[in-house]
A = this chain, B = another copy of it.
Amino acid sequence: MTIEFVFEDVVRIYDTDAQGIAHYASYYRFFTNTIEKFMRDKVGIPYPNVSDDLWFVMVETHATYKEPVRLGDNLTITISPSSLSKKTIKFDMKIISKGRLTTQGYVIQVAINPKIWKATEIPDNILKSIVEA
C-alpha cells in the first residue's frame, strides 16, 4: 500500500494570471515542489539530478483542473509514488484547497544515465525507498 506524502504550499503572485487564478502551468511547479521535497526528505536523494550517473527526466505529464485556486490560497498537495518498471516511476498528485480537490494529475519519469542519455535501471535501494516511502 502506498502511503501518501503531504506537502503544504501557497499560491503566490507569480503563480497567478490575468484570469485571477493560478495559471495552468503553475500547477506543475506545485507538483515539482512536492516531488523534490519528497525525494529529499523521504527518499534522501537530490532531485531530479541524483548523481553524475542518474537523472530523472520527464516523459509524460497530465493535469485536470476541477476548481481554480487563487492568490494566497493554501494548498495541500499529496503524492502517491509507484513504479511502472525498473526504469520508470509515476507520481500521482492531488491538490486540495479549502477541503476540496481542486486539481489531479500525474508525472512519469524515466531514469537515465546522462553521460550517454540512455534509460537505466533505478538502483534497488532508491526504487524501494521511493515506492515504500
Contacts and interface: CB of A to CB of B under 8 A. Distances in A.
Interface of A: 10, 12-14, 16-21, 23-25, 28-29, 32-33, 36, 46-49, 55, 57-65, 68, 70-72, 107, 114, 117
Contacts of A59: 64-65
A64 B55 CA distance: 18
A73 to B, nearest CB: 10
A63 B16 CA distance: 21
A60 B71 contact: no
Contacts of A72: 46, 49
B58 A71 contact: no
Nearest to A27: B61
User: How many copies of this chain does one complex carry?
Assistant: 4
B18 A16 contact: yes
B58 A65 contact: yes
A64 to B, nearest CB: 5
Given A46-B71, A64-B60, A71-B46, A55 B19 contact: yes
Nearest to A59: B65
5 contacts: A14-B32, A19-B55, A46-B72, A49-B71, A57-B68
B28 A12 contact: no
Contacts of A64: 59-60
